[in-house]
Amino acid sequence: MNSIRRYGPVSDEVRRAAVAAARALMDGANWSRTRAAREVAAGLSVHPNTVSNWLRDAEPAEPCGTVAELQEQVRSLQDQLRASHITMRELERHQPTDGRAR
């Protein structure tokens, strides 16, 4: 089932104003992204997901780093995971088998 867009094109100026209004509600009134998007969307007669998408698109993209930096991050995370597995095995080894604490 295809949804029908019930509004015309929205100018960049209106989008920027909608994003600013939603951010103000999120920051100033401590509203959730969803609640702020619903409120702003109601005033513009657009779907709340549209405003939510505008908010997402307005967020700066996080730089992902160089390949070498990402490879180092992967190695670090793998080391942490290995250490967690070792800790879990040690804890399991010291667990009583009859359900009582030692």
- Relative orientation angle of helices 48-58 and 33-44, to the nearest 10 degrees: 120
Look up the pTM and report it.
Answer: 0.56
pLDDT in tens, 73-99: 999 999 999 999 999 999 999 887 766
Domain ranges of the chain: 12-58
Q: What's 71's DSSP letter?
A: H
- Cα separation, 60 vs 78, in Å, equals 28
Residue 65 contacts residue 73 (beta carbons within 8 Å): yes
pLDDT value at residue 95? 82
Which of 59, 13, 15, 2 lies closest to 41 in space, CA to CA?
15
